[in-house]
Chain A
Amino acid sequence: MMLCKLSLKNIKKSFKDYTIYFFTLILGVAIFYVFNAIGSQTVLINTTKSTYEIIDLMVNMLSGVSVFVSFILGFLIIYASRFLIKRRNKEFGIYLTLGMSKRKISMILFFETLFIGLISLIVGLGVGVVLSQLMSILVANMFDADMTKFTFTFSTSACIKTFIYFGIMYLLVMLFNVYTISKCKLISLLYGAKKAEKVKLKNQVICTIIFIISVIILGIAYYLVTAGFEFLDTADKIFIPIVMGIVSTFFIFWSVSGLLLNIFMSMKKTYYKGLNSFILRQFSSKINTTVFSMTIICLMLFVTVCVLSSALSIKNSMTANLEELAPVDIELYKMLNLTPEDGENTNAVIEDSKFSVRDTLEKNNFNISEKLMDVVECYLYKEEDFTLAKSLGGNLDEILKKYRYLKYDSLQNIMKISDYNKIAKLYGNETYTLDKDEYLIIADFESMILIRNQVLKENGIITIQGKDYSPKYKECKKGFVEISSNHINDGIFIVPDDAVDESMQYGNMIIGNYKAFDKDGKRKINDELQKITSKLWNKESLISMNSKIDIADNSIGLGALVTFIGLYLGLIFLISSVAILSLKELSESTDNKMRFLMLRKIGVDEKLLNQALFRQIGIFFMFPLLIAIIHSIFGIKFCTIVLESFGTKGLLPSIIMTAIFIVVIYGGYFLLTYYCSKNIIKEK
C-alpha cells in the first residue's frame, strides 16, 4: 500500500511533466471511442437497404482501422512512457540507493501506469461521449437524416472495446516499464543526466553534397508522381517514388542542420544578434539527434494532409457530381441481339434480347407512360472489329507503351447524332450537328480524353461500314449518356444517323424521370423497377437500371465511409506525430532549464528568453510540417490524378478544412508545449 501511495504522490507531483502525455492519452481514447461509436449512431437513422449495406461496410472498416490505430497509439504510449521514465532516472536511482528492490520500483511504475491509465480512460471516455454527440450531428448530416429528434447516444460496445484495446496497450506499457527498470544500472540512473552532450559536428561539404543530392532525388520523385505520371504504368512502380521520397526526406533531415548552420554562420550580422546563435545551435543539435523521428513525423504529417484532403475532397465531389452526372431519375439499359456465342446466357435471355427495354418492361406489367415522363429511347451500335485498338489508329503503338492496362479489344460504342441530341437536351448538355462524313467523340473520363485527343489531333479517320469519317473537332466533347456518380464515360462515337443500321444495334436504353412529385412517390417507382430488374437479371433478361436514388444512396454511403476513415486516420496520425514532437521537446527541458538559467545569469532579458524559447520550439515544430506540406503539394496532385474519376471539385475547401484541423491540433500542441517549457525554465 505504501508503494501505491508513493505512486499517487508521484503523479500529483509530476503532473506538469505528464500534461502532454495525459492530454494525448485522453485525446486518443476519445477519438477511438467516437469512431467506434458511429456504428451505433447510424442504427438510429432510418435508411434504405442500399445505404444500410454500405453503413455495415463502413462500420466493419472502421473497426479494422481501429486495430491499426491501436498499434500506432500503442507505440506512441510506449514511446511517451520511455521519455517519462528517463526524466525520473534520478528518482529511481535514489530509491535503489535507499535499498528498494527493482521489483518494488517496477511495482511503483505499475501502479502509476494503472492510475494514469484509469484516469485517462475515464476522462477520455467522458470527452468521447460528448464529442460523439457532435459526431452524430455529422453522421445525420451525411446521411440526410432528420435532425429534429436529437437523442443522446451512448455506445456500450464502443465503450467496452475502448476499455479492452487500451487495457491491452497499458498492459504492454507496464511490461515495457518492468523491462526498462530491470535493465538499468544504478550509475547511469544517478549520473545519466550529467553526461556531457557531444555535439556531433558534420562535415560542411558532405552536408551540402548530401543535401543537394537529396533535393534532386526528391525532385525526381515529385516529377514522377505528377508530370511524369505516365512512367508509372504498373501499380508496383508507384513504390519507386515513395521509396525515393522517404530516403531523401531522411537525408534532408540528416544534412539540413549542418547546412543551415553554415549558411547562418556566414551571415555574421544575423548570427551574432541577440540569442540567434543560441537558438540556431539548439535547433541544430535537436535535429541532429532526432533525424529518424523527424523523418517519421514528417511522413506521418504528409500522410495526414493527403488522406484528410483527399477524403474530404472525394466526399465533396461526390455530392457535386450527383447533381451534374445524374440529371434524371432513371436510365434502363439492355443488351440487344445476343447470340449464343456472347458468353454463357440462358436461352430465355437470348430470346429476350430481341426485344427493346420498353417491350420487356411492359411484358412485366410496368406501364411506362403512367410511371415515367420525359422519356427518351435510344440505341447503341457497334461495328464488328471496331475496337479500342482500332479506334486509336496510328497512335496505338505509342499509347500501348504508356498504358498497358487498357482493354484494347473492347468494342467501341457508337450512337446516332439524333439520339444523342435528344439525351443531351434532356440532360441540359450541348447538342451538336454533323456533316455526312463527320463524327465526334463524347467523353468525360479525363485520361481517356487525353488519349483520344491525341488521336483526334493527328489523324483520327475511322471506318464504319466501309465508309470513312473524319473528326469534326480536334478534341473530345464533354458529356455522357449513362447516369453515374463519377466521370466514367471513356468515349462514345457520335455519327450521322445514316452511318449505322439496325443490324448493328447492340444496346437499347430508356432515360427519363419518375412521374411523381415527392421523395416517397419516386422511391416507390424506384423500388418497383428494382424488383423487376433484379428478378429478371441473368435469368430472363439482361435489363439493368441506374437510378438517381440508388446512385445518391451509394455515394452518400461511400462519401461517409471515405470521410470517416480519412478523419479517423488523419486525426490519429496528426496527434501521434505532434505528440512525439512535444515529448521530445519537453524531455530535453532539464537541459534547457540549465541553459536558460545560464542565460538569465549573464543578464538576458526575460522577454528575450521567452522569445528564444518560442522561436526554438516554433522552428522545431514548423520544420517537419514545412517539408510535409511541400511533399503534400505533390502528394495531393498525385491523389487528384489517381482519383480523377471522382472529380476534383471540392479540393480547395477540403484543403482549407485540412489546414484548419492541422492549425487547431498542431497549434494547440505547440502552445501547450511552449507553456509547459516556459514553466519548466521559470523554476529556479
Chain B
Amino acid sequence: MFCKVKKTTKLHNFVIMVSERRDILESILKIEQIEKYYGNKSSLTKAINNISFEVQEGEFVAIMGASGSGKTTLLNVISTIDKVTSGHIYVAGEDITKLKGNKLNQFRREELGFIFQDFNLLDTLTAYENIALALSIQNTAVKEIEERINKVARELSIKDVLNKYPYQMSGGQKQRVASARAIITNPKLILADEPTGALDSKSAKMLLERFQYLNDTLKATILMVTHDAFTASYATRVIFIKDGKVFNEIYRGEASRKEFFDKIIDVVTLLGGDLNDAL
C-alpha cells in the first residue's frame, strides 16, 4: 500500500514537470493513466498498469524495458493495433481510444508512421512500390508520389535499392526502406518497435544516425521501443518501464551520446538483472 502511494507521488511530480514544459512545445502524444489487462478474473495479467506521460513535437523518445515489461503492449495501444482497458491516449489533441472502425485506419494512415523489427515490407513489391503504397492508399497523385519518394530516398540513402525486391536487400536496407515508408506521409508521430532488433551493429548504427537526422533536421517526432541501451542512447529522452509501470526517465540534455549511454546503463543496473540479460 505504501509503495503505491509513493509511486503516485513520483508520477505526480512527473506530470507537473511535463506540464511546465508544455508552454515551450506542443504536446504530440499525451497518455493519461492507461491500463491494459489480459485474461480473466482468475488469472489477470496487468500488461500496463497505470502509465502516463507526454511526448512533445520534435522529441526522440526511447522506451526501454525487459521482455514482458509491457513496452510492446504500450506501443500497440498507441498505434491503435490494440485497445486499452482504461485511460486515454491523445494524439495531437484527439482521443484515439474513442476512435472506431475506419476512423482508426484513417488515423493510422494519416497521423502515424510505423517501423517494425521484422521490417514488414511486402515481399511481392519493390522498395519503390512498398514506399509508394503508403501514399497511394491516401490517393496521392502519381507525380507527388514520385517527388516525395525521390526526396526521402536521398535522405535515407536508399536510391540505389528502389527497384529491388525485399529479398534482394540487406537487413539495413530493408529497415531504411521501411523507415522511408513510415515517414513519407509526414506523420505526426513515428512509432518504431525494436527497429534495430534484426540488424547487425553496423547497419543498426547507420539506421540510428538516420533517425537522428530525421529528428534533428526534419523535426520528426519519434517514439521508439527497445531493450538495447546503445539504440536508446540516440534518443533525447529514455523512459524505463518495468512490470507495466514507468520506473524512471532520463533526459539527454546537453550530454554527448557516450555520456548518455553511460547514464542509461546506470539506470539499467538499477532496474535489475532482467534488462541486463537482454543487453
Contacts and interface: CB of A to CB of B under 8 A. Distances in A.
B112 A199 contact: no
A603 interface: yes
Contact of B137 (A199, A281, A608): A608
A607 B112 CA distance: 20
B182 to A, nearest CB: 8
A273 B114 CA distance: 21
Contact of B133 (A201, A269, A602): A602
A44 interface: no
Contacts of A602: 108-109, 114, 133-134, 137, 181
B166 to A, nearest CB: 8
Nearest to A597: B120
A606 B136 contact: no
A282 interface: yes
Contacts of A149: none
Contacts of A137: none
Nearest to B134: A602
A560 B194 CA distance: 70
Interface string A600-615: 1111111110000000
B139 A603 contact: no
Contacts of B109: 602-604
Contacts of A268: 142
Interface string B238-256: 0000000000000000000
A645 interface: no
Interface residues of B, number: 33
B101 interface: yes
B104 to A, nearest CB: 8
Nearest to B107: A603
B125 A277 contact: yes
Interface in A581-631: 595, 598-608
Contact of A605 (B105, B133, B166): B105
A281 B124 contact: yes
A603 B136 contact: no
- Could you say which of B105, B135, B167 has the most chain A C-beta atoms within 10 Å of its C-beta? B105
Interface string A181-209: 00000000000000011110100000000
B23 interface: no
B165 A199 contact: yes
Nearest to B136: A272
A376 B136 CA distance: 82
Nearest to B113: A602
Interface string B151-163: 0000000000000
B32 interface: no
Contact of B123 (A199, A201, A269, A277): A199
A274 interface: yes
A634 interface: no
A198 B165 CA distance: 9
Given A598-B122, A601-B81, A601-B114, A274 B102 contact: no
A283 to B, nearest CB: 9
Interface string B112-142: 1010100011111100010011111101001
A595 B125 CA distance: 11
A600 B80 CA distance: 11
A153 interface: no
B274 interface: no
Contact of A278 (B116, B122, B139, B142): B122
A40 interface: no
B201 interface: no
Contacts of A242: none
Contacts of A196: 123, 166-167
B206 to A, nearest CB: 22
Contacts of B133: 275, 277-278, 599, 602
B57 interface: no
A454 interface: no
Given A602-B133, A602-B134, A604-B137, A278 B102 contact: no
Nearest to B145: A272
Interface string B5-33: 00000000000000000000000000000
Contacts of A608: 137
Given A606-B102, A606-B105, A197 B181 contact: no
A601 B136 contact: no
A254 B137 CA distance: 30
A281 B101 CA distance: 27
A240 B46 CA distance: 73
Contacts of B79: 601
Contacts of B139: 273-274
Given A277-B125, A601-B114, A607-B102, A198 B167 contact: yes
B194 to A, nearest CB: 15
A285 interface: yes
Contact of B112 (A272, A595, A603): A603
B132 A277 contact: yes
A606 B167 contact: no
Nearest to A198: B167
B114 to A, nearest CB: 6
Interface string B46-66: 000000000000000000000
Contacts of B134: 602
B167 A282 contact: no
B82 to A, nearest CB: 9
A277 B105 contact: no
A603 B110 contact: yes
B178 to A, nearest CB: 10
Contacts of A603: 105-110, 112, 137
Nearest to B103: A605
B137 A601 contact: no
Contact of A601 (B101, B108, B142): B108
A51 B106 CA distance: 70
B120 A601 contact: yes
B155 to A, nearest CB: 19
B120 A598 contact: yes
Given A196-B123, A198-B167, A598-B122, A605 B106 contact: yes
Interface string A39-53: 000000000000000
Given A199-B167, A269-B142, A606-B105, A277 B136 contact: yes
B129 A277 contact: yes
Interface in A225-281: 268-269, 272-278, 281
A268 to B, nearest CB: 5
A285 B167 CA distance: 14
A199 B124 contact: yes
A185 to B, nearest CB: 22
Nearest to B125: A281
A268 B116 CA distance: 28
A557 B225 CA distance: 78
Contact of B142 (A272, A274, A598, A607): A272
A268 B79 CA distance: 31
B10 to A, nearest CB: 34
B191 to A, nearest CB: 10
A270 to B, nearest CB: 9
Interface string B86-104: 0000000000000001100
B81 A278 contact: no
B124 A282 contact: yes
Nearest to A273: B136
A604 B105 contact: yes
Interface in A293-319: none
Contacts of B101: 606
Contacts of A282: 124
A604 B133 CA distance: 10
Contacts of A599: 122, 133
6 contacts: A268-B142, A274-B139, A278-B125, A281-B129, A601-B108, A602-B134
Given A196-B166, A602-B133, 19 more contacts: A197-B123, A197-B124, A199-B124, A268-B142, A272-B135, A273-B136, A277-B125, A277-B133, A278-B122, A278-B133, A281-B122, A598-B120, A598-B122, A603-B105, A603-B108, A603-B112, A605-B106, A606-B101, A607-B102
